[in-house]
Amino acid sequence: MKQVLRSAAVQTALGWLLGGYIRLILRTVRWRHHNLEALTPVLQSETGILACFWHGRIPLCMSTAPQWWTRRTRALISPSADGQFIATALEINGFPAVRGSSAKPGDSAKTRQAALAFREALNWLKGGGCLIVTPDGPRGPNEVLAEGAAQLAKKAGTPVFLMGIAAAPASRLKGWDRQMWALPFGRGAVVWAGPFHVGAETTAAQAALEWSVALAAATRQAEALVG
């Protein structure tokens, strides 16, 4: 069954289904944006931007699309077979993927792949592009920001925005990231936190810890805004 689900045809079909769903949620949910004014001047500049939201909010991610459609924007997606349909869903909605994620210790092939993706993402940011990352994916732990996003921001010198996203009514799955799936015609909120920067004296680990707290707080605030 797993081989069937990971076949190219099934992954493409799932990608189109997810792509249609996230566009439906964008158009039918009444979205509120908090602190969007902090993002606007940065979007109007020519600098690259790194933006993060939790992996469990991928089904709600198109709520942020109207802002990112104004700039050249890509999404960092796992190169795994399971990540293929997410990449397809985002690409048909205007967000082509950079395929890469952290590698398990000892997996040399995935380590090389992760290094290539990191270089591609870094060049994209330095060239003025925007990159959206789910920094606790693809394996978790849930709502713990990995150092990779902070390393990217530090090397590229780009500002970072954290996006807390929530909607109600919604269902939560029982997987590691407790994905939130909204129902149409409900309420939604996006809380924009930032911009954050990684100073010369700040390590990626320190920034990742700080951003984990800030992104969790933004997500809880978004949940409170939708009741």
- Count: domains in the chain: 1
Residue 103 reports pLDDT greater than 60: no
Residue 7 reports pLDDT greater than 80: no
pLDDT tens digits for range 172-188: 999 899 999 999 999 99
Between CA 129 and CA 122 the distance in angstroms is 10
Between CA 167 and CA 171 the distance in angstroms is 9
Considering the entire predicted model, what is its pTM?
Answer: 0.90
- Mean pLDDT of the chain, nearest integer: 91
Q: Which residues have CB under 8 Å from 32's CB, separation 6+?
A: 187, 188, 189, 190, 225
Instruction: Provide, rounded to the nearest whole percent, the portion of the chain with pLDDT above 90.
Output: 78
Contact 53, 61 (CB under 8 A): yes
Backbone angles phi, psi at 162, to 5 degrees: -110, 135
The pLDDT value given to residue 4: 61
Ranges 32-36, 103-107, 187-191, 216-220: which has the least confidence: 103-107
The pLDDT value given to residue 113: 76
Q: Which domain holds residue 193?
A: 2-225
Q: What is the CATH number of the domain that holds 101?
A: 3.40.1130.10
**How many other CB atoms sit within 10 Å of the CB of residue 155?**
16
